[in-house]
Amino acid sequence: MFWKKEDTNVPTSTNLKIMHGINRISIYLFLFALVVLVYRFVKGL
């Protein structure tokens, strides 16, 4: 996998920042739901 250096001349896009924020929130929600499911499974045993 190749990682390109970030071009400092390219302006940062607001849409890109919002997309990354939404992705971060969705990952945290997924992990929270996974923890709740594991907790309920262990509690039910």
pLDDT at 1: 60
pLDDT, one tens digit per residue, over 2-39 is 677 776 776 778 998 999 999 999 999 999 999 999 99
- State pTM to two decimals: 0.67
DSSP label at 1? Answer: -
For residue 25, CA distances in Å to 10, 13, 32, 38 come to 26, 19, 11, 20
Summary count for the chain: helices (H), strands (E): 1, 0
pLDDT at 12: 76
**In the chain, domain spans:** 14-45
pLDDT at 30: 98
Give, rounded to a whole angstrom, the gap between the first and last alpha carbons of the chain: 43
